[in-house]
Structure 1
Amino acid sequence: MDQHDLDSIREGIARRDAGAEDETERPRRRGLRRALIAIGVIVLLVVGSATAFVAYLGYTVNDNVTQENLLPEKRTPIEAPDGTPVKETGTGTNYLVIGADTRPGDAGRSDVIVLVHVPADGETIQMIHFPRDLYVSIPGHGKNKINAAYAFGREPLLVETMEQLLKVRIHHVAKTNFDGFKKMTDAVGGVRVYAEEASNGSGNGGPIVIKKGWNTLNGEQALGFVRERYTLSEGDISRGRRQLAFIKALFLKATAPETITNPLKIAKFTDAATGNLVLDQTLTVGMMRDQALALRNIRSGDIVFATAPFTGYGTSPEGASIDVVDTKGMADLGEALRTDTMDDYGDVFVTP
């Protein structure tokens, strides 16, 4: 990245903050926006890599990102509760983000299951965490924990399970692993994230102590922050909220002026964000660019998240601990997604 590129980025930031609309600057601004290809819609990884595209769109991202058949080959018809077919495209766009903990013994299970809904107006990003112990019907496998769908049939079966649970269409899928959290955090020089409760854990570098309130974390600490669940009051539910809080914190740091105007940070973050990123077979760079442009005015308060509705904890017939689905709440959530009325979906979203 040469000085001219840096000057262009700084000018773009200044114009955004000041709200300038000078006609003579529009060609340059459009050029910069084409470079800022954000996938903020599908989680920290994709949103973060978007900022990094400023310098590396030409080769790093295309070389790193892998595309696989993450969507079902044959889409099962979906009917709304009233019996009417659900359109393939629906209203707004739904992205399923899957994350796996790569520690020994955890292979084959999805530890992060987040549905990201981007409304048609592009004014918000709504993230919904689905606890991995949520007890649901898995097509062809009876009832089990939702992350068992991933173990039985990988991403396509998890997509189908989610679609039948919510009665909505999942349009795109992205997956990564926890190691990316650590690398991206270090690439931007650490993140500041809010913890709802304190915890004590451990990492490769020793004890990881998280205090209640704001914490500034390096990569190893961030990894401990998003992994911890045993010492938290609601186990995986609390961990899910932590993961979403971290996603937001990383997004804000990755898109901050001190990051996007620093060539070294951009280079490191691009590689970290895309090195383990896999996208579905239909999600193209052009589509990512179009979504990024639609979300260019997103700010901190526009990114909200919630936990999928459940009524409490129980035990499966096999004796496993489970989270019991709130049937009515899930139906209401599906209706809000289908009709693009998530802003009216109760007071469940928070903006940490």
Structure 2
Amino acid sequence: MNNNVLRSGALNGAQAVPKLNQDTNILVMGLDSRVDEQGKPLSPAVYDALDAGDQTIGGYNSNVLMLIHIPANGSKATAISIPRDDYAQIAGIPGESIQGKIKEAYGDGLAAAQTALLAEGKPNNNATYQPARDAGRRAEIATVSQFLGSVHIDHFIEVTMVGFYEVAQAVAPITVCVNQATQDTYSGANFKAGLQQIDAKQAMAYVRQRRDTSNPNYLFSDLGRERRQQAFIVSVIRQLKQAGTFTDIPKMQSVLTAVSKNIVVGQGLNLIDLMRQASSITGGHISFTTLPITGFGTAPNGESINTVDVAQVQATVKELLTPAPTAKAKPSSASTSSSAASTSTASSAGTTAKPKAAKKAAPTTTYGDWTGALQGGSIPCVKLRCAPDNGTYRRIFPFSQATPK
């Protein structure tokens, strides 16, 4: 597996932040690219499965950005989702000082490097394309590190849309949960309410859906989509743990080998060692948090953006990465999935329904919106927002055929 996976030296020179402790920070970048790692079109069958258009759509935006923090002492891991439209200072591009959506750093870095290489008379082929991809990775890593408050990034994992699809194929069927039935002709989403098993194509729709085309009262947003992405990861971790995959190295290797050609990692990341080391993650002992925004706005170029308070973002990150020690407390009725108590109502922090022993139902935890921490260990049941919320955390996407998938 470690010989087959694609490697990149993009971390070299991407950050001037020293490593201050033995904790591990991994940046996960999910690209909206509809091509393979050589920039070549995918097969018609894969485009049909992705239901997201062909190579003429999309680019090199890091539409998914997550920082995975693994404490060296084996305590609970933390995953931080960075909203893709957060307006940030783009870093890591020599000679340029620009602002833009944080997801655009990859594409901006790639374009700048490719332009410079071609200006030097280099051929427009893979020999210039791959260094340009590394420049894009370097810019995204530098931008995220700076945005989060000079956070040191030890490793990165880059996954394209087809890479995600192959991961889903390797582990399907996957059990997920939604609180309300929903359909979306853009992403192909068509889910019933409650627990259900989905295949790889449905998994693509589950993590990409950002609107409902059957009910105008379903108000979706990118922030809700990030919550479903978190829920999907938690469900997969739980499923692989139950199947014994994490403790069966040949089984783990077969999963990773199936997806290696569309995943890029840093030169120093050993994926098998990571599986052994990250017992907190593989055991489901992880929480997912989405960084706060202050609202929605418009950039000088007319693009819709998330407005942020950078000081608030960095304070939130600092608290998540270095939580204050807390004394052990007895479980209370307010506890989530680790508590024996349960209630019938849901809040943004999540409430667990205790499964009946006779039916051995899968434990689920309901989340009312994207705020608060989503905990590992159970199957998250994601609630769709169906009423106005004073516009603070709401973006309605028009049901226009001109709207990109």
Structure-2-length-normalised TM-score: 0.60
Alignment counterpart, residue 226 of structure 1, candidates 173, 193, 207: 207
Alignment counterpart, residue 75 of structure 1, candidates 15, 35, 60: 15
- CA–CA distance in 2 between the matches of 1:180 and 1:74? 24
SS of equivalent residue, structure 1 residue 161: helix
- CA–CA distance in 2 between the matches of 1:102 and 1:261? 33
Tell me, yes or no, if the aligned pair for 2:32 and 2:60 is still in contact at 8 Å: no
Deviation at 1:227, TM superposition (A): 1.5
Deviation at 1:199, TM superposition (A): 3.1
Percent of aligned positions with the same letter in both sequences? Answer: 30
Deviation at 1:195, TM superposition (A): 3.0
Unaligned runs of 5+ in 1: 1-60, 79-86
The answer for the alignment partner of 2:33 in structure 1 is 102
CA RMSD after TM alignment:
3.0
Aligned pairs for 1:1-352 within 5 A = 61-73=1-13, 75-76=15-16, 78=17, 87-90=18-21, 92-103=23-34, 104=55, 105-139=57-91, 140-153=96-109, 154-167=136-149, 168-195=151-178, 198-202=181-185, 207-231=188-212, 233-257=219-243, 269-284=255-270, 289=273, 291-296=274-279, 298=281, 302-336=285-319, 340-341=322-323, 348-351=372-375, 352=380
CA gap of 1:184–1:331, structure 2 versus 1, over 3 A, is: closer
Tell me, yes or no, if the aligned pair for 1:70 and 1:279 is still in contact at 8 Å: no
- CA–CA distance in 2 between the matches of 1:193 and 1:334? 28
CA gap of 1:131–1:211, structure 2 versus 1, over 3 A, is: farther
Tell me, yes or no, if the aligned pair for 1:123 and 1:298 is still in contact at 8 Å: no
CA gap of 1:127–1:298, structure 2 versus 1, over 3 A, is: closer
CA gap of 1:196–1:160, structure 2 versus 1, over 3 A, is: farther
- CA–CA distance in 2 between the matches of 1:267 and 1:197? 36
Tell me, yes or no, if the aligned pair for 2:25 and 2:152 is still in contact at 8 Å: yes
Deviates more, 1:229-238 or 1:170-179: 229-238
Deviation at 1:191, TM superposition (A): 0.5
CA gap of 1:73–1:308, structure 2 versus 1, over 3 A, is: same
CA gap of 1:327–1:234, structure 2 versus 1, over 3 A, is: farther
Deviation at 1:317, TM superposition (A): 1.8
Deviation at 1:322, TM superposition (A): 0.7
Whose helix fraction is larger, Structure 1's or Structure 2's?
1
SS of equivalent residue, structure 2 residue 236: helix
SS of equivalent residue, structure 1 residue 111: strand
User: 1:115 is aligned with what amino acid?
Assistant: L
Tell me, yes or no, if the aligned pair for 2:9 and 2:266 is still in contact at 8 Å: yes
CA gap of 1:163–1:253, structure 2 versus 1, over 3 A, is: same
**Alignment: residue pair count:** 275
* Greater RCO (CA < 8 Å, at least 6 residues apart): 1
> CA deviation digits over 1:263-291, x for unaligned, max 9?
99767523333231211123245xx51x4
Structure-1-length-normalised TM-score: 0.69
- CA–CA distance in 1 between the matches of 2:163 and 2:22? 31
SS of equivalent residue, structure 2 residue 211: coil
SS of equivalent residue, structure 1 residue 275: helix
SS of equivalent residue, structure 1 residue 102: coil
User: 2:24 is aligned with what amino acid?
Assistant: T
CA gap of 1:70–1:132, structure 2 versus 1, over 3 A, is: same
Deviation at 1:161, TM superposition (A): 0.9
> CA deviation digits over 1:267-325, x for unaligned, max 9?
7523333231211123245xx51x43333365665121011121111111222111111
CA gap of 1:272–1:146, structure 2 versus 1, over 3 A, is: same
SS of equivalent residue, structure 1 residue 144: strand
- CA–CA distance in 1 between the matches of 2:303 and 2:174? 36
SS of equivalent residue, structure 2 residue 108: helix
> CA deviation digits over 1:114-154, x for unaligned, max 9?
11111222222211111111111113332210011111111
The answer for the alignment partner of 1:33 in structure 2 is none
- CA–CA distance in 2 between the matches of 1:93 and 1:157? 20
Tell me, yes or no, if the aligned pair for 1:70 and 1:173 is still in contact at 8 Å: no
User: 2:146 is aligned with what amino acid?
Assistant: Q
- CA–CA distance in 1 between the matches of 2:324 and 2:240? 26
- CA–CA distance in 2 between the matches of 1:294 and 1:101? 30
Deviation at 1:189, TM superposition (A): 3.5
> CA deviation digits over 1:43-64, x for unaligned, max 9?
xxxxxxxxxxxxxxxxxx1343
Tell me, yes or no, if the aligned pair for 2:15 and 2:152 is still in contact at 8 Å: no
- CA–CA distance in 1 between the matches of 2:23 and 2:175? 30
SS of equivalent residue, structure 1 residue 67: strand
> CA deviation digits over 1:147-180, x for unaligned, max 9?
1111111111111111111221111111011223
> CA deviation digits over 1:70-100, x for unaligned, max 9?
2142533x5xxxxxxxx42445221100011
